[in-house]
Amino acid sequence: MQIKKEAPSAVEAAMELTAVMAVSQIAQQEKKPETEVLKSFMNSNTAKMLFDDETKLWHNGPAYVAYEYLKECEKRKIS
């Protein structure tokens, strides 16, 4: 039996694309492997907000999401 998976909605696809683009930007900026950044990003509050449609964070684009993630990382270092 084959399980049929629904295609993501346009909003979900936009969220996923924004995450991929933000991770790529962060990896380049921080000179780290994308896989390492992706793991950290997906465990962040920024990612939780990105994938929560109520926050509309994905509307701001990948550069803003990357900025928010890096700001979150700085706060964790200080705390």
Give the C-alpha separation, 39 to 53, whole Å.
21
79 pLDDT more than 50: no
pLDDT in tens, 4-24: 677 779 999 999 999 999 999
φ/ψ (deg, to 5) at 44: -95, 160
For residue 76, the model assigns a pLDDT of 87
Amino acid at 74: E
Q: From the centroid of its chain, how far is CA 28?
A: 15
For residue 12, the model assigns a pLDDT of 92
Query: Which residues contact residue 45 at a Cβ distance below 8 angstroms, ignoring those fewer than 6 apart?
Result: 72
pLDDT in tens, 24-68: 999 999 999 999 999 999 999 999 999 999 999 999 999 999 999
pTM > 0.95: yes or no? no
